[in-house]
């Protein structure tokens, strides 16, 4: 089991990163709410991981802290929730926002996430409410609308940022027309890919 990685961030291509630790490059998929807080490429990063072994693949999912990882693992225990859906849920909202939705029995907001239909949302609220009832609000890193994102490089043009944002949303389970519409609705010339993804996800909730 790979539970924690400490190394140099080599690549960032949302929602996946390449982290070099001990001479080995690890491909790790991260929820966008964790991806936003990553340092710059070339800097050191510490992430907590969940290792998934399937017949056709071995996958690593990464998180900024143990609590976010614990919530991801609780999600995987829910009926009908796999790693991809868990990643999409925690990309569309922070861990704290998800806990709030469950506590408030807010299935309507959950339905807006990709791959979450009405029945899945209602089942998530029902199954997760007892599991999360003792999770205090102070366990999470607050999700800030004013999170500091690195400004777009001069070498990156707006079209490339938009294309990368659409690709990231597709990887999270959104349909192409929905992803394109969301990115177009929030896109501005000076936006980086990370900001575009963040604002697009917010616009769909």
Which CATH number does the domain housing residue 166 bear? 1.10.8.10
Same domain, 96 and 126: yes
The mean pLDDT of 39-57, rounded to a whole number, is 92
Same domain, 48 and 25: yes
Q: Is residue 145 part of a domain?
A: no
Close Cβ partners of 31 (under 8 Å, ≥ 6 residues apart): 15, 63, 68, 72, 87, 89, 90, 91
Same domain, 74 and 130: yes
Give strand pairing partners of 26. 19
Same domain, 75 and 131: yes
The mean pLDDT of 161-189, rounded to a whole number, is 87
Q: What is the pLDDT of residue 11?
A: 95
- Mean of per-residue pLDDT scores for the chain: 84
Distance CA 79, CA 57 (A): 21
Domain assignment of residue 175, given as a range: 158-203
Q: How many domains does the chain have?
A: 3
Tokens of 178: 């929905």
**Is this prediction's pTM over 0.85?**
no
Q: Is 174 helix (H, G, I), strand (E, B) or coil?
A: coil
Q: Give residue-wise pLDDT tens across range 83-115.
A: 999 999 999 888 888 988 898 999 999 998 888
Same domain, 59 and 78: no
13 near 41, Cβ under 8 Å? no
- Domain holding 94: CATH number? 1.10.150.20
Same domain, 24 and 35: yes
Q: Give residue-wise pLDDT tens across range 119-163.
A: 999 999 999 988 887 775 444 443 333 233 333 343 333 568 888
Q: Buried (b) or exposed (e) across 68-97, using 16+ Cβ within 10 A? A: bbbbbebbeebeebebbbbbbbbbbbbbbb
Cis peptide before 80 (omega within 30 of 0): no
For residues 28 and 177, which has the higher predicted lDDT (pLDDT)? 28
Q: What is the pLDDT of residue 144?
A: 36
Percent of the chain that is helix, strand, coil (3-state, to 5): 45, 20, 35
Q: Which of 139, 169, 189 is the last residue of a domain?
A: 139
Distance CA 65, CA 4 (A): 10
Q: What is the pLDDT of residue 136?
A: 56
């Amino acid at each position: 089991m790979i539970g924690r990685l400490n190394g140099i961030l080599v690549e960032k291509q949302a929602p996946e990163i390449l982290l070099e630790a001990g001479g080995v490059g690890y491909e790790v998929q991260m929820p966008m709410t964790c991806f936003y807080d990553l340092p710059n490429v070339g800097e050191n990063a510490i992430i907590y991981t969940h290792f998934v072994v399937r017949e056709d693949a071995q996958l690593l999912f990464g998180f900024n802290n143990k609590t976010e990882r614990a919530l991801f693992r609780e999600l995987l225990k829910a009926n009908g929730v796999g790693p991809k859906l868990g990643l999409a849920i925690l990309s569309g909202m922070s861990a704290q926002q998800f806990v709030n939705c469950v506590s408030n029995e807010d299935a309507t907001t959950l339905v807006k996430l990709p791959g979450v239909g009405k029945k899945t949302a209602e089942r998530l609220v029902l199954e997760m409410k007892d599991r999360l009832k003792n999770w205090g609000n102070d366990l999470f890193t607050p999700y800030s609308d004013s999170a500091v994102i690195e400004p777009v490089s001069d070498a990156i043009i707006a079209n490339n940022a938009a294309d990368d944002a659409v690709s990231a949303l597709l990887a999270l389970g959104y349909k192409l027309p929905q992803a394109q519409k969301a990115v177009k609705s929030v896109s501005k010339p000076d936006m980086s890919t990370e900001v575009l993804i963040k604002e697009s996800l917010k616009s769909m909730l």
